[in-house]
Each structure stands twice: as structure tokens, then as C-alpha cells.
Amino acid sequence: MKTLLKTLMMVAALAGAATGLAIGPASALVEIDVNKGTIEPLPIAITDFAGGELGAEISSIVQADLKRSGLFAPIDKAAFIEKIANPDQAPRFDDWKVINAQALVTGRVSKEGDGRVRAEYRLWDTFAGQQLSGEQFFANGANTRRVAHIIADAIYERLTGEKGYFDTRIVFIDESGAKNARKKRLAIMDQDGANARFLSDGRSIVMTPRFSPNRQEITYMSYESGQPRVYLLQLETGQRELVGNFPGMTFAPRFSPDGQRVIMSLMREDGNSNIYSMDLRSRNTTRLTSSNAIDTSPSYSPDGSKIVFTSDRGGRPHIYVMGADGSGQTRISFGEGSYSTPVWSPRGDLIAFTKQSGGQFQIGVMRTDGSGERILTSGFLQEGPTWAPNGRVIMYLKQAAGSGGPKLYSVDLTGRNEQQIPSPNFASDPAWSPLLD
Amino acid sequence: MRRIAKLAANPVMVALVASLALAGCASKKTPNSAADLGLGGGAATPGSAQDFTVNVGDRIFFDLDSSSIRADAQQTLARQAQWLNRYRQYSIVVEGHADERGTREYNLALGARRAAATRDYLASQGVAASRIKTISYGKERPVAVCDDISCWSQNRRAVTTLGGAGS
């Protein structure tokens, strides 16, 4: 992954177009307020980038990313009046206003002499008659989808004021075979389901992969030694490593936000489970809970000062918060039913969870003190939320009754834009990668 | 659910009930015990693994979200302990399982708690704790695969396996 990043660098912002239009704040600029309760998707025209098939492919990936976010309504190309011949020239804004394209994307893709691909885009505000942004990127030839995602992120950020999340990946569990003999493999793919590949051979049950903050490693649980245990996997080298040498089952691992620690559950001799954290350098472990109950699914706050987790110490599973040293363990969920798999938002403001009540599974969010609970999606079986790095979208597994297995879905924080994520087979336990700066 | 629970003392009957329940779920038939695999109860050699599975009963069932050993399960475990105390050459692995109506990590822990409760009960009946290992499969290894209570109640189980062989 590292080598890909080095070859994929932003070279320069494209200054005002050949016609000399100014870049910069002006009145009536198009923008999306993502904090509004209901969001009317922004009509946007995304033209085929110049550069033949490759140009069309890149613009179609950009379009699919923006459309899936639910914040944009790409306009059918058949409605376009102007054909963009030279993306360096200002478009005829009237031709775009008349089809109600509030924003317009043009671009060009070309092959450099050294085999690299050069991709550039310009984002226009058609009603203000201005270029909003323009950048160019170089990538090696195998990496064109990634350039498209980076362009989509740039457009998303310019129009919403929020970081994008399209140049990200998902680790998950690929599931195949009969339900009572399910083969489970570690797998990774782009956030839109492209470029899926397997990271384990399916001989051992694996579950709950999670990214390290630098995206280079994952931690997960595997039965490969017989007893379920937590492992680390280096994505670039494929090197695997057992985390700690504990007598019983270890499970439910996650990295700390600085990547220095793994937090997880350890089963006790009496069958209950407590939460431990392990320093990956010194290998020192710290016990954080000691209830005679099941304490599991720990997740750090993004500043590393707190941990949210599941415990059934009060009877049914509920959500608790404690200091990173185990201090001040406090229950925060009080609704009917069971609550589990809490995950702290990368923005720090919300906790996503799985709730079971009335025979249904629900994915919801609450504030970090437990107030403001909102259910985003409900169904026969859905669990295990993971946050997009901008804290606006949640992915989880969802299985309809009688469907035979789970698939991955995403939903935004309004709960109105639920989408299935393509995957090679059944899929579960998604974990979204962070963005790289 | 109670009906199945009462019948659990006789694994052949359980398998029969399970098959009937499963008939309602298209293509969900699954070998659930020695009886399903065509092994007759009386045919097993005394002291063999088949004898244990068919004549003693290798599994007990749990109520929803519970790891308490039910009365019917106590009878099964008493028979298991009697048999295991007679045939001491076997090592024992107790597998704890959960149904799919819980989240993955919690159910892994719940399966561990069920396996430990089963181990402790066998130990209380005189089976040396040093012979017994436990492992949890959470909701990863259901035996019944339909999407309703008739299957879930069969999947909330602890299975006593001999010599470390899988169930």
C-alpha cells in the first residue's frame, strides 16, 4: 500500500481556467449543508473526462461515488447540451443552468511518457459562473480507480465542507458454503466493492478484522491454533503474529487510536470475559475490567482517553463507558432490549451500536453520554457497525430472513440512504479504513 | 421449545423432532446427530464414541441468553458423567454454542460461558476437571439453519466431544 501512495501524489492545483476566471469565495456559491435534517441531493453534471475510454471510466467512478453518498443527484448525460471539447476552457454556463446542473465536473486523463496516468478535474459553480476547484494527480497505470476516488473526495469536500471517504477500503469476512459449514475468509476491497481479494484461505474460522490507524495492519480473531485467539496481519507482507500469550480465548480486538495498543476481551476460567489492553511494543498487558460478567466489544474514543464497551453485568447486554485506564465504568444505554457492539465515531461525537428489541436487530447512534438515541435501520438480523472516516456514514452486515446469509450495507446518519455494498459472496464484519492524510 | 427441551433426554427423539421441525424449512435438512446419520441406537459398541452420542446424549440445550443448566440438561449431564467416569480413557472437549440472535462477539463470550457451566456441572458429578477442555464457537457453527425459533433453540447448546474430535 505504501508504494501505491508514493506514486499517487497531487502535483498542483489548477489555477483559474484559460479564460481567467477567479477562484475564491463569491456570493451564491453552491454548497451542501450536511447538518440539515433532510438533504435535497445536489444536481450535478459529471461529464466524461477527455481521454477516451479511460476518461469515461474515471468520470463514471466519480459519479458512482458521489451518487452513493446520497448528497448528489448526478444528471443523465443524455440531457447534456454542451459537449466539453476542451476542459481547459470555461464551459457555457447557460447550457448547464438550463438543465439545472448546479455544479459541473470536467476533466482530462492522459498517459505520460513514463507510463503514469495524469488525471485532472475542474469543478464549476454554474450559477455563479466560476471554477470552484481544480487539481491534477499522477498515478501508476494500475491505480486509476484510486485516482477517481481521490477526485470524488476532493469534489465532496469542496461542496460539503466535510472530508470525503471514497479513497478508503473495507476489511471484512467473506462467507461461502452452507450455513452449518460456512467457510470464512479474511478479505479486503475498496469501499465501493471493487478490487476484492482474500487474505486467508478459509481453513480456519476468522472474524472481526479491524484496521490499524495507518491502514498497514489489521487485527482479527482466528481459530487457526484451535482455540480462538487475536492476531495481527501486516497487509503488505502477509506476515501474521499472535497477540499475547493468554491461557484462554482472546477476542473482540481493536487498535488504540495511536496504533500502539490492542484492546480485546480475554475469557476467564469461569467462562466470563474481561477487557485487557496490550502494549504492542513492550507486550505488557493491563486488565481494565474485572466484573463477574461478559465484558466485550471495547472501542476507544478517537482521542484515546475513553473506552466504550458491552457488558451484561446488569443482566442484559448494555453499553458502558470507562476511562482508558478502566476507571469510572458507567452504563450509558437504558432503552428496552439489548445493546452491543458499540463503536466510537471518528469525530468523537457519537457512538454507533447494535440494538435488539422486539425480535428485530437495529443499527443506531447515541451521544457519548447515552442521550439522543436514534435508530437508523431495523431488520431481521443486522449488526456490527463501522464508521466511515468522516463520521457521516455507517457500514454493517444485514441479513433478511430466509436469505441464507449476510451482505454489507451502508447508511448515512439521516437513516434515509441505505445502500448494499457489492461483495463476491456473503459478507460480514466490515471495518472501514481510516483516510490517509 | 419446552417440548424439545423435555425430549432432550433422549437424543434419538430430539433428532426426530428436529427433522420434523426442519421439514418446514426448505432445503434446511442437516445431519444433527448419530441418529440422522443412520446410526441405530442399539448398534453402538459400549464405551465407543457412538455409544456416548446415541445412548447417553452428547448435547444439552439452553434457554435464550442463558448459561444456566436446565433440569433436563442436568439429567443428560448426569448420564454423561456416569459414562465418562466409567470410560476414563477419553479426554473431553466441551463446545459452547449460541444461536444467531445475538451479536458475534457477545455470542462468542456466551458460548464460552455455556461451555464453562457444562464443564463445571460435569466436574461436580465427579469427572476430573483436568480431563475437560472448553471451546466456544459462538454463533459460527449452527446445526439447524432455518430462520426461526425451532432452529435457534437447537443451536443454543453445549456439545461434549470425546478425544477432542469435533461435533
Quote the mean pLDDT of chain A: 91
Contacts B110 to A, Cβ<8 Å: 294
Judged against a pLDDT cut of 80, whether residue A6 lies above it is answered with no
Coil/strand/helix, residue B144: coil
Give pLDDT, residue A139.
86
Do A265 and B103 lie within an 8 Å CB cutoff? no
Same domain as A208, residue A153: no
Do B137 and A265 lie within an 8 Å CB cutoff? no
Residue A35 located in a structural domain: no
Contacts of A235 (CB under 8 A, 6+ apart): A1, A188, A199, A215, A216, A217, A218
Q: Please give the single-letter amino acid code of residue B73.
A: A
Same domain as A173, residue A128: no
Quote the mean pLDDT of chain B: 80
Residue A114 located in a structural domain: yes
Angle at A225 between CA A220 and CA A226, to 5 degrees: 105
Taking residues A131-138, report their average pLDDT: 94
A184 touches chain B (CB under 8 A): yes
How is residue B32 annotated by DSSP? -
Judged against a pLDDT cut of 50, whether residue A17 lies above it is answered with no
Judged against a pLDDT cut of 50, whether residue B58 lies above it is answered with yes
Taking residues B128-139, report their average pLDDT: 96
Give pLDDT, residue A407.
98
Do A310 and B108 lie within an 8 Å CB cutoff? no
| Overall domain count for chain A | 2
Grade residue A37 by pLDDT with cuts at 50, 70 and 90.
low
Judged against a pLDDT cut of 90, whether residue A12 lies above it is answered with no
Is B158:B45 a contact under the CB 8 Å cutoff?
A: no
Q: Which of A266-270, A365-369, B75-79 has the lowest mean pLDDT?
A: A266-270
Angle at A188 between CA A186 and CA A192, to 5 degrees: 140
Taking residues B7-24, report their average pLDDT: 38
Taking residues A299-305, report their average pLDDT: 98
Grade residue A22 by pLDDT with cuts at 50, 70 and 90.
very low
Judged against a pLDDT cut of 60, whether residue B23 lies above it is answered with no
B117 touches chain A (CB under 8 A): yes
B114 touches chain A (CB under 8 A): yes
Task: For residue range A371-427, list pLDDT tens digits in order.
Answer: 999 999 999 999 999 999 999 999 999 999 999 999 999 999 989 899 999 999 999
How many beta-carbon contacts under 8 Å exist across A and B? 94
User: Best residue in A172, A173, A176, A179 to probe B by mutation, most B CBs within 10 Å?
Assistant: A179
Among A113, A140, A160, the domain-final residue is A160
User: How many Cβ atoms sit within 10 Å of the Cβ of residue A112?
Assistant: 10
Grade residue A36 by pLDDT with cuts at 50, 70 and 90.
low
Taking residues A208-220, report their average pLDDT: 97
Give pLDDT, residue A235.
96
- Strands of the A217-222 sheet, one edge to the other: A206-211, A217-222, A229-234, A240-242
Contacts A264 to B, Cβ<8 Å: none
Same domain as A331, residue A298: yes
Residue A362 located in a structural domain: yes
State how far the Cα of A142 lies from the Cα of A124, in Å rounded to an integer.
Answer: 29
Give pLDDT, residue A144.
85
Closest chain A CA to residue B96: A271
- CATH number (domain holding residue A138): 3.40.50.10070
Same domain as A336, residue A214: yes
Judged against a pLDDT cut of 50, whether residue A48 lies above it is answered with yes
Give pLDDT, residue A302.
98
In B, residues 125-154, which contact A (CB 8 Å cutoff)? 134-137, 140-145, 147
Taking residues A290-309, report their average pLDDT: 98
| Partner residue opposite B143 with nearest CB, options A180, A251, A273 | A180
Give pLDDT, residue A395.
98
Grade residue B161 by pLDDT with cuts at 50, 70 and 90.
very high
Cell matching residue B54: 446415541
Contacts A271 to B, Cβ<8 Å: 67, 96, 112-117, 134
Grade residue A121 by pLDDT with cuts at 50, 70 and 90.
very high
Do B136 and A228 lie within an 8 Å CB cutoff? yes
Q: What is the pTM of this model?
A: 0.88
| Partner residue opposite B140 with nearest CB, options A205, A297, A310 | A205
Taking residues A72-82, report their average pLDDT: 96
Taking residues A303-330, report their average pLDDT: 98
Do A180 and B109 lie within an 8 Å CB cutoff? no
State how far the Cα of A217 lies from the Cα of A237, in Å rounded to an integer.
Answer: 10
Closest chain A CA to residue B103: A383
Residue A221 located in a structural domain: yes
Judged against a pLDDT cut of 80, whether residue A30 lies above it is answered with no
Judged against a pLDDT cut of 70, whether residue A285 lies above it is answered with yes
Contacts A220 to B, Cβ<8 Å: none
Contacts A340 to B, Cβ<8 Å: 102-103, 105-106
Give pLDDT, residue B16.
37
Same domain as A53, residue A188: no
Residue A67 located in a structural domain: yes
Grade residue B42 by pLDDT with cuts at 50, 70 and 90.
low
Task: For residue range A149-189, list pLDDT tens digits in order.
Answer: 999 999 999 999 999 999 999 999 999 999 999 999 999 99
**What domain range includes position A319?**
169-432
Q: What percent of chain A has pLDDT over 70?
A: 91
Residue A255 located in a structural domain: yes
What was the ipTM of the complex prediction?
0.91
Taking residues B57-70, report their average pLDDT: 97
CA B7 to chain A, closest CA, distance in angstroms equals 23
Same domain as A199, residue A156: no
In A, residues 384-413, which contact B (CB 8 Å cutoff)? 384, 401-402
Among A141, A160, A179, the domain-final residue is A160
User: Best residue in B30, B91, B94, B108 to probe A by mutation, most A CBs within 10 Å?
Assistant: B108
Among A160, A194, A219, the domain-final residue is A160
Taking residues B46-71, report their average pLDDT: 96
Q: Where are the domains of chain B?
A: 2-162
State how far the Cα of A143 lies from the Cα of A89, in Å rounded to an integer.
Answer: 27
Q: Cell 477442555 appears where? A: B133
**Higher per-residue pLDDT: A101 or B34:** A101
CATH 3.30.1330.60 fits B2-162, yes or no: yes
Residue A252 located in a structural domain: yes
A272 touches chain B (CB under 8 A): yes
- Strands of the A183-190 sheet, one edge to the other: A197-198, A183-190, A169-176, A426-432
Same domain as A309, residue A260: yes
CA B1 to chain A, closest CA, distance in angstroms equals 16
CA A388 to chain B, closest CA, distance in angstroms equals 21
Residue A398 located in a structural domain: yes
Please list the residues that pair with A183 across neighbouring strands. A176
Same domain as A175, residue A132: no
Contacts B141 to A, Cβ<8 Å: 180
- CATH number (domain holding residue A329): 2.120.10.30
Give pLDDT, residue A35.
60
SS3 readout for chain A: CHHHHHHCEEEEECCCCCCCCCCCCCCCCCCCCCCCCCCCCEEEEECCCECHHHHHHHHHHHHHHHHHCCCEEECCHHHCCCCCCCCCCCCCHHHHHCCCCCEEEEEEEEECCCCCEEEEEEEEECCCCEEEEEEEEEECHHHHHHHHHHHHHHHHHHHHCCCCCCCCEEEEEEEECCHHHCEEEEEEEECCCCCCEECCCCCCCEEEEEECCCCCEEEEEECCCCCCEEEEEECCCCCEEECCCCCCCEEEEEECCCCCEEEEEEECCCCCEEEEEEECCCCCEEECCCCCCEEEEEEECCCCCEEEEEECCCCCCEEEEEECCCCCCEECCCCCCEEEEEEECCCCCEEEEEEEECCEEEEEEEECCCCCCEEEEEECEEEEEEECCCCCEEEEEEECCCCCCCEEEEEECCCCCCEEECCCCEEEEEEECCCCC
B123 touches chain A (CB under 8 A): no
Closest chain B CA to residue A271: B113
Contacts B112 to A, Cβ<8 Å: 248-249, 267, 271, 273
CB burial readout A280-316, b (16+ within 10 A) else e = beeeebeebbebebbbbbbbbbbeeebbbbbbbbeee
User: How many Cβ atoms sit within 10 Å of the Cβ of residue A354?
Assistant: 29
Q: Helices B104-124 and B71-86, interaxial angle, to 10°?
A: 60
Do B116 and A270 lie within an 8 Å CB cutoff? yes
A264 touches chain B (CB under 8 A): no
Task: For residue range A233-281, list pLDDT tens digits in order.
Answer: 999 999 999 998 888 899 999 999 999 999 999 999 999 999 999 999 9
User: Best residue in A204, A207, A224, A267 to probe B by mutation, most B CBs within 10 Å?
Assistant: A267
Q: Classify residue B51 by burial, with Cβ atoms within 10 Å: 0-12, 13-18, 19+.
A: middle
